[in-house]
Chains A and B, each alone.
Chain A
Amino acid sequence: MSSVPGEAGAAQSGARYGEVFDRGYQHYEGRREGRAHAVRALTLYSVRGALGIKKRWTAKIIPIFIYAASFLPVAVIIGIRAFVGPVAEGFNYSSLYVALSPLLLILAAAAAPEMLCDDRRENVLPLYFSRAITRGDYLLAKIAALGILLGSIAILPPLLLFIGNTLLAESPLGYLRDQPDEVGRILATGTLLSIFYAAIGLVIASFTARKGVAAAIYIGFITIETAIVEALANAITASWRDFLDLISLGNVPDRIINWVFGGTSAVGAPPVGAPLQGWLYLFVVAGVAVICGVVMYQRYLAEE
Protein backbone atom coordinates (compact mmCIF):
# COMPACT_ATOMS: atom_id res chain seq x y z
CA MET A 1 0.00 0.00 0.00
CA SER A 2 1.69 3.17 -1.12
CA SER A 3 1.29 6.34 0.86
CA VAL A 4 1.73 8.67 -2.06
CA PRO A 5 -1.70 9.41 -3.50
CA GLY A 6 -0.49 10.15 -7.03
CA GLU A 7 1.28 6.83 -7.27
CA ALA A 8 -1.65 4.90 -5.88
CA GLY A 9 -3.99 6.59 -8.30
CA ALA A 10 -1.69 5.87 -11.19
CA ALA A 11 -1.45 2.21 -10.24
CA GLN A 12 -5.22 1.83 -9.97
CA SER A 13 -6.35 3.71 -13.07
CA GLY A 14 -3.36 2.78 -15.20
CA ALA A 15 -2.78 6.45 -16.10
CA ARG A 16 0.58 8.01 -16.86
CA TYR A 17 3.13 7.66 -14.06
CA GLY A 18 4.49 10.87 -12.51
CA GLU A 19 1.73 13.26 -13.31
CA VAL A 20 2.22 16.90 -12.30
CA PHE A 21 -0.57 18.18 -10.11
CA ASP A 22 -1.60 21.83 -9.99
CA ARG A 23 -1.40 22.59 -6.30
CA GLY A 24 -2.29 26.24 -6.72
CA TYR A 25 1.16 27.77 -6.25
CA GLN A 26 1.11 31.18 -7.82
CA HIS A 27 3.50 33.93 -8.76
CA TYR A 28 3.35 37.14 -6.77
CA GLU A 29 1.20 39.49 -8.83
CA GLY A 30 1.21 42.51 -6.54
CA ARG A 31 3.28 45.65 -6.78
CA ARG A 32 6.98 45.25 -6.02
CA GLU A 33 7.89 48.10 -3.71
CA GLY A 34 11.64 47.97 -4.22
CA ARG A 35 14.62 49.13 -2.23
CA ALA A 36 13.37 52.58 -1.30
CA HIS A 37 10.30 51.13 0.32
CA ALA A 38 12.35 48.53 2.17
CA VAL A 39 14.61 51.25 3.58
CA ARG A 40 11.61 53.35 4.63
CA ALA A 41 9.98 50.36 6.28
CA LEU A 42 13.15 49.45 8.16
CA THR A 43 13.55 53.07 9.29
CA LEU A 44 10.02 53.18 10.63
CA TYR A 45 10.44 49.79 12.29
CA SER A 46 13.68 50.89 13.96
CA VAL A 47 12.13 54.11 15.27
CA ARG A 48 9.19 52.21 16.71
CA GLY A 49 11.48 49.61 18.25
CA ALA A 50 13.65 52.22 19.94
CA LEU A 51 10.58 54.00 21.30
CA GLY A 52 9.34 50.72 22.77
CA ILE A 53 6.10 50.71 20.79
CA LYS A 54 4.50 47.25 20.97
CA LYS A 55 7.07 46.14 23.51
CA ARG A 56 6.78 45.47 27.21
CA TRP A 57 6.42 48.44 29.50
CA THR A 58 10.01 48.33 30.73
CA ALA A 59 11.15 49.18 27.22
CA LYS A 60 9.05 52.34 27.26
CA ILE A 61 10.39 53.84 30.49
CA ILE A 62 13.48 55.47 29.05
CA PRO A 63 11.84 57.04 25.94
CA ILE A 64 8.94 58.36 28.00
CA PHE A 65 11.33 59.79 30.56
CA ILE A 66 13.47 61.45 27.89
CA TYR A 67 10.53 62.98 26.06
CA ALA A 68 8.95 64.20 29.29
CA ALA A 69 12.22 65.72 30.46
CA SER A 70 12.75 67.52 27.17
CA PHE A 71 9.25 68.87 26.50
CA LEU A 72 7.77 69.51 29.95
CA PRO A 73 10.14 72.28 31.11
CA VAL A 74 9.57 74.22 27.89
CA ALA A 75 5.81 73.80 28.09
CA VAL A 76 5.74 74.78 31.75
CA ILE A 77 7.83 77.90 31.22
CA ILE A 78 5.77 79.01 28.25
CA GLY A 79 2.61 78.39 30.27
CA ILE A 80 3.86 80.45 33.19
CA ARG A 81 4.99 83.22 30.85
CA ALA A 82 1.58 83.24 29.23
CA PHE A 83 -0.39 83.51 32.47
CA VAL A 84 1.93 85.22 34.94
CA GLY A 85 4.23 87.28 32.78
CA PRO A 86 7.93 87.21 31.99
CA VAL A 87 9.73 84.68 34.19
CA ALA A 88 13.01 82.83 33.87
CA GLU A 89 14.62 85.41 31.61
CA GLY A 90 17.77 83.34 31.42
CA PHE A 91 15.88 80.49 29.77
CA ASN A 92 16.82 80.87 26.12
CA TYR A 93 17.83 78.58 23.28
CA SER A 94 21.40 78.17 24.53
CA SER A 95 20.40 77.12 28.02
CA LEU A 96 17.70 74.86 26.61
CA TYR A 97 20.22 73.14 24.35
CA VAL A 98 22.66 72.70 27.21
CA ALA A 99 19.90 70.88 29.10
CA LEU A 100 18.92 68.84 26.04
CA SER A 101 22.48 67.73 25.30
CA PRO A 102 22.76 65.10 28.09
CA LEU A 103 19.29 63.87 27.20
CA LEU A 104 20.45 63.37 23.63
CA LEU A 105 23.45 61.48 24.97
CA ILE A 106 21.25 59.15 27.04
CA LEU A 107 18.76 58.62 24.23
CA ALA A 108 21.55 57.81 21.77
CA ALA A 109 23.11 55.45 24.30
CA ALA A 110 19.77 53.69 24.75
CA ALA A 111 18.53 53.67 21.17
CA ALA A 112 21.64 52.99 19.09
CA PRO A 113 22.29 49.52 20.59
CA GLU A 114 18.57 48.82 20.37
CA MET A 115 18.80 49.29 16.61
CA LEU A 116 21.97 47.36 15.81
CA CYS A 117 22.85 44.86 18.54
CA ASP A 118 19.82 42.58 18.48
CA ASP A 119 19.98 42.01 14.73
CA ARG A 120 23.52 40.69 15.02
CA ARG A 121 22.94 38.82 18.28
CA GLU A 122 19.92 36.94 16.97
CA ASN A 123 21.57 36.33 13.58
CA VAL A 124 18.82 37.92 11.51
CA LEU A 125 21.14 40.01 9.35
CA PRO A 126 21.28 37.33 6.60
CA LEU A 127 17.50 37.57 6.41
CA TYR A 128 17.70 41.31 5.84
CA PHE A 129 20.41 40.99 3.21
CA SER A 130 18.53 38.28 1.33
CA ARG A 131 15.87 40.90 0.59
CA ALA A 132 16.00 43.88 -1.69
CA ILE A 133 18.31 45.67 0.72
CA THR A 134 22.06 46.13 0.63
CA ARG A 135 24.41 46.62 3.54
CA GLY A 136 24.54 50.31 2.77
CA ASP A 137 20.75 50.51 2.72
CA TYR A 138 20.54 48.75 6.05
CA LEU A 139 22.95 51.18 7.68
CA LEU A 140 21.28 54.14 5.97
CA ALA A 141 17.94 53.10 7.43
CA LYS A 142 19.43 52.73 10.91
CA ILE A 143 21.21 56.09 10.69
CA ALA A 144 18.01 57.76 9.46
CA ALA A 145 16.02 56.17 12.27
CA LEU A 146 18.38 57.33 15.01
CA GLY A 147 18.65 60.74 13.35
CA ILE A 148 14.86 61.13 13.32
CA LEU A 149 14.65 60.04 16.94
CA LEU A 150 17.38 62.39 18.17
CA GLY A 151 16.15 65.17 15.91
CA SER A 152 12.74 65.04 17.54
CA ILE A 153 14.43 65.86 20.86
CA ALA A 154 16.97 68.31 19.47
CA ILE A 155 14.62 70.32 17.24
CA LEU A 156 11.05 70.15 18.51
CA PRO A 157 11.44 71.53 22.07
CA PRO A 158 13.38 74.63 20.89
CA LEU A 159 10.84 75.04 18.12
CA LEU A 160 8.12 74.92 20.77
CA LEU A 161 9.97 77.62 22.68
CA PHE A 162 10.21 79.68 19.49
CA ILE A 163 6.48 79.36 18.81
CA GLY A 164 5.76 80.29 22.41
CA ASN A 165 8.03 83.32 22.21
CA THR A 166 6.42 84.41 18.97
CA LEU A 167 2.87 84.13 20.22
CA LEU A 168 3.66 85.79 23.55
CA ALA A 169 5.49 88.73 21.98
CA GLU A 170 3.84 92.15 21.88
CA SER A 171 3.38 91.80 18.16
CA PRO A 172 4.04 88.32 16.83
CA LEU A 173 4.75 89.56 13.31
CA GLY A 174 7.20 92.11 14.60
CA TYR A 175 8.96 89.38 16.58
CA LEU A 176 9.22 87.26 13.47
CA ARG A 177 10.67 90.24 11.60
CA ASP A 178 13.24 90.85 14.33
CA GLN A 179 14.29 87.21 14.57
CA PRO A 180 14.29 86.01 10.99
CA ASP A 181 16.91 83.35 11.40
CA GLU A 182 15.86 81.77 14.70
CA VAL A 183 14.28 78.77 13.01
CA GLY A 184 17.34 78.27 10.85
CA ARG A 185 19.60 78.32 13.90
CA ILE A 186 17.41 75.80 15.70
CA LEU A 187 17.38 73.48 12.71
CA ALA A 188 21.15 73.79 12.27
CA THR A 189 21.99 73.15 15.91
CA GLY A 190 19.52 70.30 16.24
CA THR A 191 20.78 68.60 13.11
CA LEU A 192 24.43 68.96 14.03
CA LEU A 193 23.95 67.64 17.57
CA SER A 194 21.82 64.73 16.32
CA ILE A 195 24.40 63.72 13.73
CA PHE A 196 27.20 63.97 16.28
CA TYR A 197 25.57 61.84 18.94
CA ALA A 198 24.04 59.35 16.49
CA ALA A 199 27.29 58.69 14.61
CA ILE A 200 29.32 57.86 17.71
CA GLY A 201 26.50 55.83 19.25
CA LEU A 202 25.97 53.70 16.14
CA VAL A 203 29.63 52.99 15.52
CA ILE A 204 30.07 51.76 19.09
CA ALA A 205 26.87 49.73 18.91
CA SER A 206 28.10 48.07 15.72
CA PHE A 207 31.04 46.55 17.60
CA THR A 208 29.26 45.14 20.67
CA ALA A 209 26.78 42.33 21.07
CA ARG A 210 25.16 43.23 24.39
CA LYS A 211 23.00 46.33 24.41
CA GLY A 212 23.85 47.40 27.93
CA VAL A 213 27.57 47.07 27.36
CA ALA A 214 27.36 49.24 24.24
CA ALA A 215 25.61 51.96 26.23
CA ALA A 216 28.24 51.77 28.98
CA ILE A 217 31.08 52.02 26.46
CA TYR A 218 29.39 54.95 24.72
CA ILE A 219 28.92 57.07 27.83
CA GLY A 220 32.18 55.95 29.42
CA PHE A 221 34.09 56.67 26.21
CA ILE A 222 32.75 60.20 25.82
CA THR A 223 33.25 61.22 29.47
CA ILE A 224 36.65 59.62 29.93
CA GLU A 225 37.95 60.71 26.53
CA THR A 226 36.99 64.29 27.36
CA ALA A 227 38.72 64.09 30.75
CA ILE A 228 41.89 62.65 29.20
CA VAL A 229 42.05 65.28 26.46
CA GLU A 230 41.52 68.06 29.02
CA ALA A 231 44.26 66.65 31.24
CA LEU A 232 46.54 66.48 28.21
CA ALA A 233 45.70 70.06 27.23
CA ASN A 234 46.48 71.19 30.77
CA ALA A 235 49.80 69.42 30.62
CA ILE A 236 50.93 70.98 27.34
CA THR A 237 52.17 74.54 27.20
CA ALA A 238 52.73 74.81 23.44
CA SER A 239 50.23 76.90 21.50
CA TRP A 240 48.85 73.96 19.53
CA ARG A 241 47.17 72.71 22.69
CA ASP A 242 44.25 75.01 21.82
CA PHE A 243 43.39 72.64 19.02
CA LEU A 244 43.08 69.71 21.41
CA ASP A 245 39.69 71.16 22.32
CA LEU A 246 38.50 70.00 18.89
CA ILE A 247 38.86 66.35 19.90
CA SER A 248 37.44 66.61 23.42
CA LEU A 249 34.20 65.09 22.24
CA GLY A 250 32.15 65.82 25.35
CA ASN A 251 32.61 69.56 24.82
CA VAL A 252 31.89 69.69 21.09
CA PRO A 253 28.09 70.07 21.52
CA ASP A 254 28.54 73.03 23.89
CA ARG A 255 30.93 74.71 21.47
CA ILE A 256 28.47 74.30 18.61
CA ILE A 257 25.64 75.75 20.69
CA ASN A 258 27.85 78.73 21.54
CA TRP A 259 28.85 79.20 17.95
CA VAL A 260 25.34 79.06 16.48
CA PHE A 261 23.55 81.10 19.12
CA GLY A 262 26.49 83.33 19.97
CA GLY A 263 25.16 85.32 22.87
CA THR A 264 27.05 87.12 25.56
CA SER A 265 27.37 84.26 28.04
CA ALA A 266 29.10 81.14 26.76
CA VAL A 267 27.69 77.83 27.96
CA GLY A 268 29.59 74.74 29.03
CA ALA A 269 33.07 74.34 30.44
CA PRO A 270 35.50 76.90 28.98
CA PRO A 271 38.30 75.44 26.85
CA VAL A 272 41.69 74.92 28.46
CA GLY A 273 43.52 77.11 25.97
CA ALA A 274 42.35 80.05 23.90
CA PRO A 275 38.86 79.66 22.40
CA LEU A 276 38.79 78.51 18.80
CA GLN A 277 36.70 79.68 15.88
CA GLY A 278 33.23 78.13 16.03
CA TRP A 279 33.17 76.89 12.45
CA LEU A 280 36.06 74.57 13.18
CA TYR A 281 33.66 72.43 15.20
CA LEU A 282 31.52 72.06 12.10
CA PHE A 283 34.41 70.13 10.59
CA VAL A 284 34.66 68.08 13.77
CA VAL A 285 31.05 66.97 13.42
CA ALA A 286 31.51 66.29 9.71
CA GLY A 287 34.71 64.35 10.40
CA VAL A 288 33.11 62.29 13.14
CA ALA A 289 30.16 61.49 10.88
CA VAL A 290 32.37 60.45 7.94
CA ILE A 291 34.77 58.38 10.03
CA CYS A 292 31.95 56.62 11.86
CA GLY A 293 30.08 55.96 8.62
CA VAL A 294 33.12 54.45 6.92
CA VAL A 295 34.07 52.33 9.94
CA MET A 296 30.51 51.05 10.27
CA TYR A 297 30.31 50.21 6.56
CA GLN A 298 33.59 48.32 6.67
CA ARG A 299 32.35 46.47 9.74
CA TYR A 300 29.15 45.41 8.02
CA LEU A 301 30.95 44.39 4.84
CA ALA A 302 32.75 41.79 6.94
CA GLU A 303 29.51 40.69 8.59
CA GLU A 304 27.96 37.43 7.41
Chain B
Amino acid sequence: MSITHRAPILWLTLRQFRAGRAILLVALFAATPVLFAAIFRWSSATGDATEFLSNFFLEILAPTILPLATLILATNALGNEIADRTLVYIVLKPVARGRLIVEKFIASTLVTVLAFTFGLVATWAVATGGSGSGRLLGALLAGTLAGVAAYGALFLLISLLVPRALLVGIIYVLIWESALARFIPGIKMLSVRHFAQSVFVRILDNPAIRLDRALQLSSATIVLVVLVVAALALATLRLRQMNLP
Protein backbone atom coordinates (compact mmCIF):
# COMPACT_ATOMS: atom_id res chain seq x y z
CA MET B 1 0.00 0.00 0.00
CA SER B 2 1.33 3.39 -0.88
CA ILE B 3 1.55 6.47 1.29
CA THR B 4 -1.44 7.98 -0.50
CA HIS B 5 -3.61 5.28 1.04
CA ARG B 6 -1.88 4.82 4.34
CA ALA B 7 -1.56 8.49 5.26
CA PRO B 8 -3.70 10.49 2.85
CA ILE B 9 -3.75 13.71 4.86
CA LEU B 10 0.02 13.62 5.26
CA TRP B 11 0.39 13.22 1.52
CA LEU B 12 -2.13 15.94 0.82
CA THR B 13 -0.38 18.34 3.19
CA LEU B 14 3.02 17.67 1.65
CA ARG B 15 1.57 18.44 -1.76
CA GLN B 16 0.00 21.62 -0.43
CA PHE B 17 3.36 22.69 0.96
CA ARG B 18 5.00 22.00 -2.38
CA ALA B 19 2.46 24.15 -4.17
CA GLY B 20 2.81 27.08 -1.76
CA ARG B 21 5.68 29.46 -1.31
CA ALA B 22 5.87 29.13 2.47
CA ILE B 23 8.27 26.25 2.13
CA LEU B 24 10.78 28.54 0.42
CA LEU B 25 10.66 30.74 3.48
CA VAL B 26 11.38 27.77 5.74
CA ALA B 27 14.29 26.81 3.53
CA LEU B 28 15.56 30.39 3.80
CA PHE B 29 15.33 30.30 7.59
CA ALA B 30 17.07 26.91 7.64
CA ALA B 31 19.86 28.21 5.41
CA THR B 32 20.76 31.26 7.54
CA PRO B 33 22.94 29.20 9.96
CA VAL B 34 25.28 28.45 7.06
CA LEU B 35 25.82 32.17 6.62
CA PHE B 36 26.80 32.55 10.29
CA ALA B 37 29.16 29.57 9.99
CA ALA B 38 30.73 31.07 6.86
CA ILE B 39 31.31 34.37 8.65
CA PHE B 40 32.83 32.47 11.57
CA ARG B 41 35.17 30.49 9.33
CA TRP B 42 36.18 33.54 7.38
CA SER B 43 36.99 35.57 10.49
CA SER B 44 38.94 33.02 12.52
CA ALA B 45 40.25 29.82 11.04
CA THR B 46 41.56 28.81 14.46
CA GLY B 47 38.46 29.57 16.55
CA ASP B 48 36.80 26.80 18.51
CA ALA B 49 33.99 25.52 16.29
CA THR B 50 32.28 23.64 19.13
CA GLU B 51 32.03 26.78 21.21
CA PHE B 52 30.80 28.81 18.26
CA LEU B 53 28.15 26.29 17.24
CA SER B 54 26.97 25.83 20.84
CA ASN B 55 26.65 29.55 21.41
CA PHE B 56 24.94 29.90 18.08
CA PHE B 57 22.40 27.22 18.94
CA LEU B 58 21.75 28.55 22.44
CA GLU B 59 21.66 32.27 21.58
CA ILE B 60 20.28 32.57 18.06
CA LEU B 61 18.92 29.30 16.67
CA ALA B 62 16.80 28.06 19.58
CA PRO B 63 15.34 31.43 20.66
CA THR B 64 14.70 33.02 17.26
CA ILE B 65 15.24 31.09 14.06
CA LEU B 66 13.75 27.77 15.18
CA PRO B 67 10.39 29.04 16.50
CA LEU B 68 9.89 31.44 13.58
CA ALA B 69 10.63 28.77 10.98
CA THR B 70 8.44 26.20 12.74
CA LEU B 71 5.60 28.68 13.08
CA ILE B 72 5.24 29.11 9.34
CA LEU B 73 4.36 25.54 8.38
CA ALA B 74 2.70 24.57 11.67
CA THR B 75 0.17 27.38 11.39
CA ASN B 76 -0.13 26.93 7.63
CA ALA B 77 -1.01 23.23 7.79
CA LEU B 78 -4.46 23.72 9.30
CA GLY B 79 -4.69 27.52 9.38
CA ASN B 80 -4.75 27.80 5.60
CA GLU B 81 -7.50 25.17 5.39
CA ILE B 82 -9.56 27.30 7.74
CA ALA B 83 -8.74 30.55 5.96
CA ASP B 84 -9.57 29.06 2.55
CA ARG B 85 -12.67 27.30 3.97
CA THR B 86 -11.47 23.91 2.71
CA LEU B 87 -11.23 22.25 6.11
CA VAL B 88 -14.85 21.19 5.83
CA TYR B 89 -14.08 18.99 2.82
CA ILE B 90 -11.36 17.14 4.71
CA VAL B 91 -13.48 16.72 7.81
CA LEU B 92 -16.27 15.25 5.67
CA LYS B 93 -14.00 12.37 4.62
CA PRO B 94 -13.98 9.24 6.78
CA VAL B 95 -10.79 10.20 8.57
CA ALA B 96 -10.77 10.45 12.35
CA ARG B 97 -10.18 13.95 13.67
CA GLY B 98 -7.30 12.79 15.81
CA ARG B 99 -5.64 11.21 12.82
CA LEU B 100 -6.12 14.35 10.77
CA ILE B 101 -4.36 16.41 13.45
CA VAL B 102 -1.52 13.91 13.85
CA GLU B 103 -0.91 13.67 10.11
CA LYS B 104 -0.93 17.44 9.70
CA PHE B 105 1.52 17.68 12.60
CA ILE B 106 3.81 15.04 11.14
CA ALA B 107 3.78 16.74 7.74
CA SER B 108 4.77 20.16 9.06
CA THR B 109 7.36 18.75 11.47
CA LEU B 110 8.84 16.46 8.84
CA VAL B 111 9.36 19.23 6.31
CA THR B 112 10.75 21.70 8.84
CA VAL B 113 13.13 19.15 10.38
CA LEU B 114 14.26 18.03 6.94
CA ALA B 115 15.05 21.60 5.93
CA PHE B 116 16.98 22.16 9.14
CA THR B 117 18.84 18.87 8.78
CA PHE B 118 20.26 20.01 5.46
CA GLY B 119 20.95 23.48 6.84
CA LEU B 120 22.62 22.26 10.02
CA VAL B 121 24.74 19.58 8.37
CA ALA B 122 26.02 22.25 6.00
CA THR B 123 26.56 24.65 8.90
CA TRP B 124 28.45 22.01 10.86
CA ALA B 125 30.56 21.13 7.85
CA VAL B 126 31.41 24.76 7.14
CA ALA B 127 32.11 25.70 10.75
CA THR B 128 34.28 22.70 11.61
CA GLY B 129 35.76 22.21 8.18
CA GLY B 130 34.29 18.71 8.04
CA SER B 131 36.43 17.49 10.92
CA GLY B 132 34.03 18.19 13.78
CA SER B 133 32.72 15.60 16.19
CA GLY B 134 29.63 13.66 15.24
CA ARG B 135 28.37 14.23 18.76
CA LEU B 136 28.12 17.96 18.15
CA LEU B 137 26.12 17.41 14.98
CA GLY B 138 23.90 14.90 16.79
CA ALA B 139 23.27 17.37 19.61
CA LEU B 140 22.40 20.11 17.13
CA LEU B 141 19.95 17.88 15.27
CA ALA B 142 18.37 16.45 18.44
CA GLY B 143 17.89 19.91 19.95
CA THR B 144 16.36 21.11 16.69
CA LEU B 145 14.04 18.10 16.48
CA ALA B 146 12.88 18.68 20.07
CA GLY B 147 12.24 22.37 19.44
CA VAL B 148 10.48 21.87 16.11
CA ALA B 149 8.20 19.11 17.48
CA ALA B 150 7.20 21.05 20.59
CA TYR B 151 6.71 24.38 18.85
CA GLY B 152 4.93 22.65 15.98
CA ALA B 153 2.36 20.94 18.22
CA LEU B 154 1.82 24.13 20.21
CA PHE B 155 1.31 26.31 17.16
CA LEU B 156 -0.92 23.75 15.49
CA LEU B 157 -3.18 24.01 18.53
CA ILE B 158 -3.06 27.82 18.45
CA SER B 159 -3.96 27.85 14.76
CA LEU B 160 -7.21 26.07 15.61
CA LEU B 161 -8.04 28.52 18.39
CA VAL B 162 -7.43 31.92 16.80
CA PRO B 163 -7.58 33.01 13.17
CA ARG B 164 -4.29 34.92 13.13
CA ALA B 165 -2.25 32.17 14.70
CA LEU B 166 1.05 33.16 13.15
CA LEU B 167 0.95 36.60 14.71
CA VAL B 168 -0.11 35.28 18.10
CA GLY B 169 2.68 32.72 17.87
CA ILE B 170 5.22 35.41 17.08
CA ILE B 171 4.11 37.49 20.02
CA TYR B 172 4.30 34.41 22.22
CA VAL B 173 7.83 33.74 21.02
CA LEU B 174 8.91 37.35 21.42
CA ILE B 175 7.33 38.08 24.77
CA TRP B 176 7.02 34.82 26.65
CA GLU B 177 10.06 33.01 25.38
CA SER B 178 12.44 35.93 25.00
CA ALA B 179 11.58 38.95 27.08
CA LEU B 180 9.83 37.43 30.10
CA ALA B 181 12.03 34.36 30.21
CA ARG B 182 15.03 36.65 30.43
CA PHE B 183 13.71 38.54 33.44
CA ILE B 184 11.77 35.91 35.36
CA PRO B 185 13.72 32.68 35.87
CA GLY B 186 10.57 30.71 36.71
CA ILE B 187 9.12 31.29 33.27
CA LYS B 188 12.38 30.30 31.67
CA MET B 189 11.86 26.79 33.02
CA LEU B 190 8.49 26.69 31.31
CA SER B 191 9.59 27.72 27.84
CA VAL B 192 9.99 25.31 24.95
CA ARG B 193 13.25 27.00 24.16
CA HIS B 194 14.68 25.92 27.51
CA PHE B 195 13.76 22.28 26.91
CA ALA B 196 15.33 22.33 23.46
CA GLN B 197 18.46 23.93 24.89
CA SER B 198 18.56 21.32 27.66
CA VAL B 199 18.40 18.49 25.13
CA PHE B 200 21.24 20.08 23.20
CA VAL B 201 23.46 20.64 26.23
CA ARG B 202 22.88 17.17 27.69
CA ILE B 203 23.59 15.33 24.45
CA LEU B 204 26.66 17.44 23.78
CA ASP B 205 27.83 16.71 27.37
CA ASN B 206 30.72 19.14 27.14
CA PRO B 207 31.82 20.66 30.48
CA ALA B 208 32.73 23.92 28.72
CA ILE B 209 29.17 24.46 27.50
CA ARG B 210 26.84 25.30 30.35
CA LEU B 211 23.18 26.11 30.55
CA ASP B 212 21.62 27.60 33.64
CA ARG B 213 19.26 25.10 35.31
CA ALA B 214 19.48 22.62 32.46
CA LEU B 215 17.12 19.67 32.78
CA GLN B 216 18.24 16.07 32.63
CA LEU B 217 17.90 14.56 29.18
CA SER B 218 15.25 12.08 30.33
CA SER B 219 13.08 14.67 32.06
CA ALA B 220 13.41 17.14 29.18
CA THR B 221 12.36 14.42 26.75
CA ILE B 222 9.41 13.40 28.90
CA VAL B 223 8.22 16.99 29.26
CA LEU B 224 8.51 17.55 25.51
CA VAL B 225 6.64 14.34 24.68
CA VAL B 226 3.90 15.19 27.19
CA LEU B 227 3.69 18.69 25.73
CA VAL B 228 3.34 17.38 22.18
CA VAL B 229 0.74 14.76 23.12
CA ALA B 230 -1.27 17.20 25.23
CA ALA B 231 -1.24 19.88 22.52
CA LEU B 232 -2.33 17.37 19.84
CA ALA B 233 -5.07 15.97 22.12
CA LEU B 234 -6.38 19.46 22.83
CA ALA B 235 -6.26 20.24 19.10
CA THR B 236 -8.30 17.09 18.40
CA LEU B 237 -10.87 18.09 21.00
CA ARG B 238 -11.07 21.54 19.51
CA LEU B 239 -11.47 20.20 15.97
CA ARG B 240 -14.31 17.96 17.13
CA GLN B 241 -16.19 20.90 18.58
CA MET B 242 -15.36 23.43 15.92
CA ASN B 243 -18.12 25.09 14.00
CA LEU B 244 -17.06 24.77 10.38
CA PRO B 245 -18.70 27.09 7.88
Chain A positions within 8 Å of B, measured between CB atoms, are 58-59, 61-62, 65, 102, 106, 109-110, 210-213, 215-217, 219-220, 223-224, 227-228, 231-232, 234-236
Contacts and interface: CB of A to CB of B under 8 A. Distances in A.
B170 A219 contact: yes
Find the residue from B29, B79, B166 having the highest chain A CB count within 10 A: B166
Contacts of B42: 235
A228 B44 contact: no
A65 B172 CA distance: 13
Nearest to B164: A212
A228 B35 contact: yes
Contacts of A235: 39-40, 42-44
Nearest to B83: A210
B170 A211 contact: no
Contact of B22 (A61, A213, A219, A236): A213
Contacts of A102: 174, 179
Contacts, number: 79
A216 B40 contact: no
A227 B68 CA distance: 15
B40 A231 contact: yes
Given A213-B166, A220-B68, A235-B40, 8 more contacts: A62-B164, A106-B170, A211-B166, A216-B68, A217-B25, A224-B64, A228-B32, A232-B39
Contacts of B162: 58, 61
A110 B167 contact: yes
A284 B80 CA distance: 37
Find the residue from B165, B168, B171, B179 having the highest chain A CB count within 10 A: B171
B60 interface: yes
Find the residue from A59, A109, A228, A235 having the highest chain B CB count within 10 A: A235
Find the residue from B35, B42, B167, B170 having the highest chain A CB count within 10 A: B167
B22 A224 contact: no
